[in-house]
Amino acid sequence: MKKLIIAGLATAGLLAGGAVALKNTGDNVAVAQTSAKSIVDAAKARGEVGERIDGYLAVVTGTSNEVKAAVDEINIGRKQVYTRLAREQNVKIEVVAKLTGEKQLDKAAPGEMIMGEDAVWKRK
């Protein structure tokens, strides 16, 4: 069962990271647009946002409304994916979320903030 859930986490990875929208101009030039992912990535690098073991992002320290909105946007997307995967695998959403959370903590960059089972923020 764990393998089936993990296989579906590739979709969750897209939501965890978001996406950069590209615009095709007449000159076939890709123009990157601001996304929730880029906002959150910058906030993670500053230590304002971190990954939690429960599969969701959270604000670590005071931050802007733009960052809070980006965190909320990504978390809403994650919950949608977790819900779909949980239904497909006939497991609780918390199981899918926690498996993803464990993976997110593992792949967090050195220096980023993470929160494990002890509910304490730490630098990785």
* pLDDT tens by residue, 57-78: 999 998 899 999 999 999 999 9
**102: Cα within 13 Å, side-chain hemisphere:** 9
Residues of the chain falling short of pLDDT 70: 1-34
- Give the global pTM: 0.74
Query: Which pLDDT does position 29 carry in this prediction?
Result: 26
- The domain spans of the chain are 2-123
- pLDDT confidence of residue 102: 97
- The three-state secondary structure class of 121 is strand
What is the three-class DSSP state of 51? strand
Contacts of 60 (CB under 8 A, 6+ apart): 47, 48, 49, 50, 113, 121
Question: How far is the C-alpha of 109 from the C-alpha of 111, rounded, in Å?
Answer: 6
Instruction: Give the pLDDT confidence score for residue 16 in this predicted structure.
Output: 45
β-bridge partners, 52 = 115
